[in-house]
Structure 1
């Protein structure tokens, strides 16, 4: 047998092995998307606190919030920074929401207390952990879900979220929106929710789940 023929067999076997290892998992091997979302919604309903970040990419002037970063707890208290659209102008504020009262601080001056009825005009992050309006509601409302991957410690599911449900999490969303959710593979707690809109996208990131968050009114 020639040396060339002797090498052909092992080379073919090696190529076959590499192809098998790098091939895309078949849909049958991935977890059911609806079940993943339901379990994730249940897991998020029990979360007591989180650090959150909202990032807007592109030109999306219709959104009430253009960015936010802070901490909140399930009791309805929150603190952080937000960029919001106010009468066509971008306003950057520090905010504290404590015991139902909203305090904001702009580029100058100290904190000012606003009526609670106005908190939605700045940004109300407490919706994030509200099981009736926040991420749990969003996860339960996804239409046509599809599991994209489940590897490397995360599970990713995509689908469409109705506009009214998405708007409770990101004010200003006015159409049903293509969405992508990344969850911890073991606990199925949500890591990121990404919404694709005409002109850009919004990504909500959650971290430090159940880490103690205490919020007190500004002095």
Structure 2
């Protein structure tokens, strides 16, 4: 005689087992995903080392928002580890954006405005407005910013201009970041994108206080690492 109860009991047991298996599989997948992200502090340390070894790079800095105490709106160009640089910058003066071309060689900066030729000035005079000469300096440039940052947490894998990278949230030391973004002080929250293979910094976004109680951002990107670069006085 066909017995219904044993069959129902067997079906119930199989259903329960399937549910447990499903939950276990889902939890394992979630744990694996979390475990696959590398340690943020280690990434910053490795990136600081990698950026400290860079000889040349293309850079771009853009400011979004009326950031308190920051007159720099945009800058881009070529940097060398020795401190030479060339490129263009946009500076806000008395409510007007002024476009400049600059060349830095040694302790001199050559600046050309919208009209006229280059003016030669001591590099020290440009430091309060914008001086990119130390950005690749391993002791006080972007490598120092990475090495002194705190609270690092890897958030996700995210490509930057076709390069696979890790996105890491962190807090930068303002005194060190001032080498990159003039006038910055205090703790500055930010996110950095570190190459998965080369460990170099490809992008960074920092959040800063702006006028009227709002916030603004400064984005820094690096490309063409160690490409040949010859920078001469104009």
Query: Corresponding residue for 2:168?
Result: 157
Determine whether 1:200 maps to 2:216. yes
C-alpha separation in 2, matches of 1:211 and 1:55 = 22
Unmatched 5+ stretches in structure 1: 1-8
Query: Corresponding residue for 2:34?
Result: 27
C-alpha separation in 2, matches of 1:176 and 1:64 = 20
TM-score by length of 2: 0.79
TM-fit CA distance, 1:29: 2.4
Q: Which has the larger radius of gyration?
A: 2
Query: Corresponding residue for 1:139?
Result: 146
Deviations 1:140-192, CA, capped at 9 Å, x for gaps? 11111101123651111111112211212101223311110001111111101
* Total equivalences in the alignment: 205
Determine whether 1:99 maps to 2:106. yes
Query: Corresponding residue for 2:80?
Result: 73
TM-fit CA distance, 1:65: 1.8
Check the 8 A contact 1:64/1:170 in 2, yes or no.
no
Check the 8 A contact 1:54/1:203 in 2, yes or no.
yes
Q: Secondary structure at the match of 2:135?
A: helix
Unmatched 5+ stretches in structure 2: 1-14, 210-214
What RMSD over aligned residues (CA atoms) do the two structures have, in Å? 2.5
Q: Secondary structure at the match of 2:77?
A: strand
TM-fit CA distance, 1:214: 0.8
C-alpha separation in 1, matches of 2:185 and 2:93 = 18
Determine whether 1:126 maps to 2:133. yes
Q: Secondary structure at the match of 1:149?
A: strand
Check the 8 A contact 1:67/1:83 in 2, yes or no.
yes
C-alpha separation in 2, matches of 1:133 and 1:90 = 29
C-alpha separation in 1, matches of 2:61 and 2:125 = 20
Check the 8 A contact 2:46/2:199 in 1, yes or no.
yes
Equivalent residue for 2:55, pick from 35, 38, 48: 48
Q: Secondary structure at the match of 2:116?
A: coil
TM-fit CA distance, 1:24: 8.9
Q: 1:36 to 1:113 in 2, by over 3 A?
A: same
Larger deviation, residues 59-68 vs 38-47: 59-68
TM-score by length of 1: 0.84
Deviations 1:101-157, CA, capped at 9 Å, x for gaps? 110000110111112321213421122101122111111111111011236511111
Q: Secondary structure at the match of 1:42?
A: helix
Determine whether 1:209 maps to 2:225. yes
